[in-house]
Amino acid sequence: MDFDAFVQAYMKGDRPVFANVGSQAKFLEPQRNGTAVTHLFRYEDQAGLRAFLEDRLGALAETEVMNASPPMPLELSKDVADRFRRKFDYEFALYESIGPNGHYDPLPGDVTRTR
């Protein structure tokens, strides 16, 4: 299965099991008790994450790659990418809201409720 086919399955209202991976925005919503994420790092900012952990832990954070998917093409066709961005704009808003040094202000409320 190529990435286009996977994303098309993810965009379905009734997702197949293999595409039912949830929502990052939903997972990171603030909780009713006020608990919320304050730092969030983009995958490509491993150096920032390491610096944050080292500062918080007071020690060098050793990490290694585990449970990684095999390398494969992950480009989407323009049509699928455009539909995905429109339908899941809140996921892109989450990504774009990550600031320098992992600073993160949670998105307001239930961003996925109206979807």
Tell me if 109 is assigned to some domain. no
* Domains held by the chain: number: 1
Q: Residue 113's pLDDT is what?
A: 53
Query: 10-residue block means of pLDDT along the chain (115 residues)?
Result: 94 95 90 90 91 90 84 92 95 91 79 54
| Residue 15 covered by a domain | no
Residue 14 maps to a domain: no
What is the pLDDT at residue 114? 47
In a domain, 108, yes or no: no
Query: Measuring CA to CA, how many Å separate 39 from each of 43, 78, 91, 100?
Result: 13, 32, 16, 10
Domain-embedded: residue 18: no
Q: What is the pTM of this model?
A: 0.77
Residue-range definition of the domain harbouring residue 84: 3-7+23-102
